[in-house]
A and B are shown apart, each in its own frame.
Chain A
Amino acid sequence: MKRKDKKTKVVSNVVVGKPDVEPSTPSHVRGVFEGNHPHVGQRHKGIKEVSEDRAEGTARRSTGIRPKDHDVIDPRMPKISPA
């Protein structure tokens, strides 16, 4: 495909062309969910934040089929992530 004529400019002694795309193009598409947004944790089923630096999980994070059957049998046991 033929390249379009583009305006060029000189920075120092380097001839630079007009960018083909905006530098920020691939960053974010409107309407797509952003993974870092506050309260994103609520979307993850089976993980509950218990303090600022700690969260606990249940078997629901691994399966939707009768998850309670796969939870710890004694509440004092740690809820370890599935390997």
Chain B
Amino acid sequence: MSTTTTPGTGKQRKLVQMAWDPVTRIVGNLGIYTKIDFNNREVVECKSTSSIFRGYSVFLRGKDPRDAHFITSRICGICGDNHATCSVYAQNMAYGIKMPPLAEWIYNLGEAAEYMFDHAIFQDNLVFVDFCEKMVAETNPSLLAKAERTPAPNSAIHGKRTIADIMRAFNPFTGDFYREALEMSRLTREMFCLMEGRHTHPSTLYPGGTGTVATPQVFTDYLARLIKFVDFAKKLVPLNDDIFNFFYEAIPGYEMVGDRRILLGCWGSFQNPDVVDYRYENMTEWGRAMYVTPGVVVDGKLVTTSLVDINLGIRILLGSSYYEDWASQEMFVTKDPLGNPVDKRHPWNQTTIPKPQKRELEGGNYSWVMSPRWFDKRTNDHLALDTGGGPLARMWATALAGLVNTPFVRATGKSVIIHLPKTASFGEMDLEWKIPQRANTLERDRARAYFIAYSAAMALYFIDKALERVHSGDVKVFQEFEVPDDAIGCGFHEAVRGVLSHHLVIRDRKIANYHPYPPTPWNASPRDHYGTPGPYEDAVQGMPLFEENGQDNFKGIDIMRTVRSFDPCLPCGVHMYVGDGRVIEQRHAPMFGLGGHDEAEG
């Protein structure tokens, strides 16, 4: 416990240090260190740290670029396929490939299944534990009493009479909605495997296309499962609306929990095969043709939808991370293919030099995560963009851009309308996601439910387009190519929890530089050298607390809801540690005796 004086006021505040390290129900080692003023029920300071280093950008150097998607897929055990897909996009650009349309539809269907799988399991089986009856009874008993008396507005759709009934349905292992969501995760995983071969590390994706044989049956098997999932999604969205609206009504001021300035980034998803040719020169056009529009949203306004602008604005800063600066290292790309200058702090020019050290939360370095920022050339600011857990930024950018117009999903400029056809339990249903007033915890969670419906609706469209080609007799799913001696490439995609970019430099047919930038480095970044805190820190800092428990049995539920609303996934946050004396066994598989390895060690 410490006592500090608030600058300018001379007022003494009693601050209690509270830490959650590691945060559970997320992937990886995330630590949240806070200073809380219990008298005023406010979080005064927050720092987020990660204690793992992975080193993908270090050990990819020198490898055959055609292996990159298989290797980078292993960055994550949750969204590995997003990495594989993004790496294929980057390689397509480097090799000069335009993939066949049928292959693009297969990629889109696989990725849509991944969004449905991952968002649904995270939302219903992990996030909702923070909103379940057992948790609310422990943290806010009076809120639960109110929930018992409050009827659920959409009970005719989801069958739960009161808000407390919804909360009971979320109880882990016993709640019926919790169990139904688990069953759904099996369906969506099967859909994924039909398209990409294996979950989560796809076996049928590679630059140039896919190995999936495009038979009518593979698509109808997918469709049969998708229709069942659409039935589930129709129930899921109104249920989410009921619970989040109840929190707003029952706890005045809850909109300030996890609230931060609207600084959202979305790198776009679902390629349109009619437009995409993977040429950098045309990247703005094919980026805008994507079925999730890329964009940067600052203070509620759309700054750009151009992937070239997005690419050139990326800066990787240090300031509180365990790395040595690469200012004196080699520049790999000075100009992009359009002749625009590329910054030294751009991923194409980054050199990762790890420097392990002691964690110093007060004025020193405290994380393995770097600080990616987006340079806003209008104001010369390095913006700490967040992804809003993925869906919030995607829906926001797509809604404002108003470019997506398909029979199932339509962006209007201020909302996104999702049309779901008739299914077993429900008739046709239109869901409309409207741009919210704030980027806060509840809106990040709400957008996730809507994006599940969005992905399901887009998958219906992709199935139609793919079957159209199959029925016309098209079987082409792969384009041959040659690996050039020297090339550069970049891939932009959306990992489940937000922006994903892969930057690749090939020299002498080998990888000279490779930098994957997934969502969590953006969200979990520590303070950069300008002192700008990362999004988790920013969202938690200054946040009011509504938990009814005092300091002694404080659970930090509001803080945990906020951090989890970003869908943290630390394995991709940092890009090997072997303890002293550990023996590594290494073996080589003999390949026609030509592998050139004469030593095996154990």
Contact = CB atoms under 8 A, between A and B. Distances in A.
Contacts of B594: 29-32
Contact of A38 (B62, B67, B482): B482
Q: Is the interface of B mostly helix, strand, loop or mixed?
A: loop
Contacts of A83: 215-218
B160 interface: no
A80 B470 contact: yes
Contacts of A29: 591-592, 594-595
A81 B476 contact: no
B292 to A, nearest CB: 23
B480 interface: yes
B324 A12 contact: yes
A38 B602 CA distance: 41
A20 B510 contact: no
A57 B477 CA distance: 12
B354 A3 contact: no
Chain A interface size, as a band, is: 35 or more
B475 A25 contact: no
Contacts of A30: 594
A32 B591 contact: yes
A40 B211 CA distance: 14
B208 to A, nearest CB: 6
Interface in B76-102: 98, 100-101
A36 B208 contact: yes
B470 A81 contact: yes
Given A1-B602, A29-B594, A53-B101, A79 B473 contact: yes
B214 interface: yes
A79 B482 CA distance: 29
A14 B482 contact: no
B601 A80 contact: no
A78 B471 contact: yes
Contacts of B588: 21
A83 B475 CA distance: 12
A24 B481 contact: no
Contacts of B215: 80-83
19 contacts: A1-B600, A4-B599, A12-B355, A13-B355, A14-B355, A20-B601, A24-B510, A25-B595, A32-B591, A36-B483, A39-B480, A41-B480, A53-B98, A53-B100, A53-B101, A79-B475, A80-B215, A81-B475, A83-B218
Given A11-B354, A25-B596, A80-B216, 20 more contacts: A4-B599, A22-B62, A23-B59, A24-B62, A24-B64, A29-B594, A32-B594, A36-B208, A36-B480, A40-B480, A47-B475, A52-B98, A53-B98, A53-B101, A56-B474, A57-B475, A78-B472, A81-B475, A82-B215, A83-B217
Interface of A: 1, 3-4, 11-14, 20-32, 36-41, 47, 49, 52-57, 61, 78-83
